[in-house]
């Protein structure tokens, strides 16, 4: 039997991090170390260096981020300190210990002004500070260390809810519907939802196959936010009207891509693991949360 891979996860109590932690802790093939903000602040290079180089990890997964997209427009320094320079600090330590550096990234690196989904070979061109900070993070990782994996996901939903956003979209919709609040959701902005439970298993498959480079790892298919919300209520057997509105009727501080749907040109040739359609993932999530 081969030795288990020594894997560290930064951002272990976040929405995605919680599901990665749960899955990896249960796998014999990994010797797993979850790290949260009390263990490591990725803005501090010395702390990152000390924590990561004191144990010789084979893989370091960076799921930590500053994810409040609208706040990033004002808090540019914080966005770059965490999403870009934090990633650089981790990549430097990974290079030193020859660990694979895994950076979780986003569909928001894309402009989103075309009708077709984005593949790994499409050029990134972010339209907001969050996207710019994440794309810079991707580039710093790729420039700094020869062994990296950039896993792009989008519109994340998971049991833990985003700590940086105080929940997730589905939870907000269900809470408002149950409270009888009026609901208006954008119908002309499209994306590919990602269930953290599935993303954790995809990441496991990617590590097992020794994948490097950029991989798109959202659930299969795409939808508008309106369609996503409508499906969630229908599947949770909650009857409540949702008004469908254009994005222009819901101005936000940060510009958002109109179509940031992701598709992968690579996954089929890398692994037999398949990201299921978003509708199936949403059903599984609602069951996990006992809404069905």
Ligand X SMILES: NC(=O)c1ccc[n+]([C@@H]2O[C@H](COP(=O)([O-])OP(=O)(O)OC[C@H]3O[C@@H](n4cnc5c(N)ncnc54)[C@H](OP(=O)(O)O)[C@@H]3O)[C@@H](O)[C@H]2O)c1
Provide the 8-state DSSP code for 118: B
Site string for ligand X, 178-207 (x = CB under 6 A): ------------------------------
| 39: nearest Cα among 74, 71, 7, 10 | 10
* Choices 60-68, 117-125, 223-231, 276-284; region in contact with ligand X by CB under 6 A: 60-68
Active site residue 108: no
Tell me: does residue 156 bind ligand X (CB under 6 A).
Answer: yes
β-strand pairing of 183-186 with 223-224: unpaired
Tell me: does residue 34 bind ligand X (CB under 6 A).
Answer: no
Distance CA(114)–CA(101), nearest Å, equals 31
Distance CA(109)–CA(137), nearest Å, equals 11
Q: Which residues make Cβ contacts (< 8 Å) with residue 209, sequence separation at least 6?
A: 270, 271
* Of residues 227 and 240, the one with the C-beta less far from ligand X: 227
Q: Which of 5, 8, 9, 11 binds ligand X (CB under 6 A)?
A: 11
Q: Where are any strands of DSSP class E within the chain? A: 5-10, 30-35, 59-62, 100-106, 148-153, 156-157, 183-186, 190-191, 194-195, 213-216, 223-224, 242-245
Site string for ligand X, 95-134 (x = CB under 6 A): ---------x-x---------------------------x
* Of residues 1 and 74, the one with the C-beta less far from ligand X: 74
Distance CA(71)–CA(269), nearest Å, equals 38
* Choices 111-119, 157-165, 253-261, 264-272; region in contact with ligand X by CB under 6 A: 157-165
Return the active site residues. Answer: 130
Which residues would be at the binding site for ligand X (CB under 6 A)? 11, 13-17, 37, 40-43, 63-67, 82, 86, 104, 106, 134, 153-156, 162-164
């Amino acid at each position: 039997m081969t030795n288990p891979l020594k894997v560290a996860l930064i951002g272990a109590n976040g929405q995605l991090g919680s599901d990665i932690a749960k899955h990896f802790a249960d796998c014999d093939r990994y010797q797993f170390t979850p790290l949260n903000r009390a263990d490591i602040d990725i803005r501090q290079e010395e702390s990152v260096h000390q924590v990561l180089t004191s144990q010789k990890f084979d893989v370091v997964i960076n799921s930590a981020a500053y994810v409040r997209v609208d706040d990033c427009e004002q808090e540019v320094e914080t966005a770059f300190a965490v999403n870009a320079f934090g990633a650089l600090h981790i990549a430097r330590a990974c290079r030193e210990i020859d660990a694979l550096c895994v950076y979780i990234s986003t569909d928001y690196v894309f402009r989103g002004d075309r009708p077709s989904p984005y593949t790994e070979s499409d050029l990134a061109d972010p339209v907001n500070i969050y996207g710019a900070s994440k794309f810079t993070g991707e580039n710093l990782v790729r420039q700094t260390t020869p062994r990296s994996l950039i896993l792009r996901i989008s519109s994340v939903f998971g049991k833990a809810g985003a700590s940086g956003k105080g929940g997730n979209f589905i939870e907000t919709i269900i809470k408002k519907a149950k409270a009888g609040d009026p609901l208006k959701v954008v119908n002309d902005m499209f994306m590919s939802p990602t269930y953290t439970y599935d993303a954790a298993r995809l990441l496991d498959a990617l590590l097992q196959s020794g994948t490097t480079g950029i991989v798109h790892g959202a659930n299969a298919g795409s939808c508008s936010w309106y369609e996503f919300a409508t499906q969630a209520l229908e599947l949770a057997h909650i009857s409540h009207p949702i008004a469908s509105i254009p994005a222009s009727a819901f101005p936000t501080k940060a510009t958002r891509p109109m179509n940031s749907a992701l598709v992968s040109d690579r996954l089929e040739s890398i692994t037999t693991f398949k990201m299921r359609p978003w509708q199936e993932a949403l059903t599984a999530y609602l069951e996990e949360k006992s809404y069905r």
